[in-house]
Amino acid sequence: MAITYTWSITSLETQTVGENVDTVIGVCWEKRGEDEEGRIGMYASKSGLPTGTATDSTFIAFADLTEADVINWVQTNMTESYSAKVNSGIQEQIDMQTNPINMPTLPWIAE
């Protein structure tokens, strides 16, 4: 089954780096996956960002940031193995909705 993924940024951590006030150094994010049946899994985490960009030509002032910019930073700095772990966690949550684990009352215990 195909899963459609959406990303969102939930908060940012900033610090003054060099001359740049409010340089983003950390990002809290969520990645949600939804299958064709509407079942949803979610993975949330925090990613640190390298501060070297605060002094180069690619620096974006805090007031000029878009969510797409920050999502791109998170995705660019994510390893393939970590990305696979995130997707696997989302898939597991969706799978649990498809075939949940049950915890019935033990048959030898009277209700």
The 3-state DSSP class for residue 45 equals strand
**Where exactly are the structural domains of the chain?**
3-97
- Within 10 angstroms of residue 31's Cβ, the number of other Cβ atoms is 22
Distance CA 3, CA 5 (A): 6
Q: Tens digit of pLDDT per residue, the chain (111 long)?
A: 799 999 999 999 999 988 888 899 999 999 999 999 999 999 999 999 876 666 677 788 899 999 999 999 999 999 999 999 999 999 999 999 988 889 999 999 987
38 residue type, one letter: G
* pTM, rounded to two decimals: 0.83
